[in-house]
Structure 1
């Protein structure tokens, strides 16, 4: 009976994927905060790291499903951290990667194999990983460039036909949603906010009519929310909340101790 009680009181085990997701969210929040403090945009980070913008966004937002294999994620985090002044190798080592399965051999045989492995094999292994991450980053960056090249000017005849059908392309690009507080991302037609707490504050976040969070967040917390149509953020301490809309520079929501509510709508297609 005592053994059963101990088993029941044991905390549930967290899967490796959950550990990766939690650790990526933690590391991404630190990188986002450091970038904001240095006043660097994502475009500047792309130029510094040679990592595509969408991967940098996924790292900051902790979106594990938008990133490649864990071993490559660790390399991308290392490059991102190096560019922001962190010790990249040490910083990225906190992100868990797949552990190699252990063959069904005796303990004595396993230890012997480990002792006989030369140190240069470890150096070669690290070198191969670094080269693989660099190659993947270059390939992804080239894919982005090829996608951008698809928007190149059409030949004269085709361009004339398109312009005759759409007489006001410039005016349509200048239309902006609702107010100067509303921002948009025309490529994904969604809206994203990130909040960083300068002081402990009560916050309520509503995404597309559904309450995603309501409660008090401690100082230093960084959270990210997304919505397809509209996000509403309300706080009772506007001066203690830094808010960033669609990866733009973070700004205070208002004055300290002031109640403030902000609605951010996604861009219309």
Structure 2
């Protein structure tokens, strides 16, 4: 379990949902980088794994809200990793499903009995004895009444016994029985893939070397600063994305899930603008 911060000199553990979100982002970046190295598109991975494209994209982006239950997510991660030539079982097992750690500190509960004095215990014992005696007497009275009722019922049933007439069972014609209609159940992956997505522009960057980057989405600065080598980030916009860097050769950029390419020559500034496709 991760310990992200301290509060009042005490470490506060992450919730299970936060652990899943962080681990999914880490696994998604690893799978995205592996796919880019092999020059595969998401459509080709869909053919290999039979997983809908939007679920594969949600895994790469670490978007937990667009994915189904955690047990299904783990299965998708295993299939995705196997298709990329990785150990799918090992990668999927790092994604948490259930919380395995319980609170190790026992909570002390003050029992009201610990605060009772001997005189209080004496009255408590007397009350328990009285209640138990009353309950036992009620049970005995109910048993006697049930025995009397059962004897009277047996006498009345013996007098009113009538031999039933033997009747032949009715035969049901097979042609009159209608077969039950079978229910068609769609798999989870097919039902999840029926949602249409709007047209947006998306870029993904992977740092080959430490570089300064500024990203502007729809006129607003989303990020500005230096990212270390090996960092993978994704940004989206409804209309236009602008990416500027001071080391174009150290930045691999992918536009709308296409194959990643270098922004330019190493050590040189470069600015790229990408506009979203118009909706029809």
TM range (shorter): 0.5 to 0.7
Q: What runs of 5+ residues in structure 1 fail to find an aligned partner?
A: 1-5, 103-135, 149-185
Distance change in 2, residues 1:245/1:9 (3 Å): same
8 Å Cα contact 2:252/2:261 also seen in 1: yes
Question: After the TM superposition, which segments of 4 or more aligned residues of structure 1 sit over 6 Å from their partners?
Answer: none
Counterparts of 1:190 and 1:212 in 2: how far apart (Å)?
A: 16
- Per the alignment, residue 213 of structure 2 pairs with 203
Tell me the CA shift for residue 63 of structure 1. 0.9
Q: Deviations over 1:129-151 (max 9, x none)?
A: xxxxxxx995424774xx59xxx
User: What residue is the counterpart of 2:51 in the other structure?
Assistant: 51
Partner in structure 1 of residue 112 of structure 2:
none
Q: CA deviation at 1:207?
A: 1.2
Q: CA RMSD in A?
A: 2.5
Matched, 1:238 2:248: yes
CA drift at 1:18: 1.6
Aligned length: 193
Question: How far apart are residue 13 of structure 1 and its match?
Answer: 2.9
1: CA distance, partners of 2:263 / 2:256: 15
**2:61 counterpart residue number:** 61
Written as runs of structure 1 = structure 2, the 5 A alignment for 1:129-144 is 138-141=187-190, 144=193
- The structure with the larger Rg is 2
Structure 1 residue 25, shift from structure 2 partner: 0.8
> CA distance change for structure 1 residues 55 and 268 in 2, over 3 Å: closer, same or farther?
same
1:1-269 pair list within 5 angstroms? 8-99=8-99, 138-141=187-190, 144=193, 187-269=197-279
Could you say what secondary structure the match of 2:54 adopts? helix
- Aligned-residue offset at 1:15: 1.9
Displacement after TM superposition at 1:235 (Å): 0.3
Task: Report Cα offsets for 1:158-217 as digits up to 9, x if no partner.
Answer: xxxxxxxxxxxxxxxxxxxxxxxxxxxx95221111000011100011111221111111
Conserved in 2, the CA contact under 8 Å of 1:51 and 1:137? no
Q: 1:9 Cα shift? A: 2.1
Cα gap change, 1:20 to 1:188, in 2 (>3 Å): same
Is the contact made by 2:200 and 2:277 (CA closer than 8 Å) also made in structure 1? yes
Residue 221 (structure 1) shift: 0.7
Structure 2: state its 5+ residue gaps.
1-5, 103-184
Q: Which secondary structure state, in structure 2, belongs to the residue aligned with residue 68 of structure 1?
A: coil
Task: Indicate the SS of the match to 2:209.
Answer: coil
Give SS of 2:29's match: helix
Supply the distance in 2 between the matched residues of 1:80 and 1:209 (Cα, whole angstroms): 35
Structure 1 distance, partners of 2:9, 2:15, is: 18
Name whichever structure is richer in helix by fraction: 1
Cα distance in 1, alignment partners of residues 224 and 275 from structure 2: 20
* CA distance in structure 2 between the partners assigned to 1:143 and 1:254 by the alignment: 39
CA deviation vs aligned residue, 1:80-117 (integer Å, no higher than 9, x gap) = 00111111111111111133898xxxxxxxxxxxxxxx
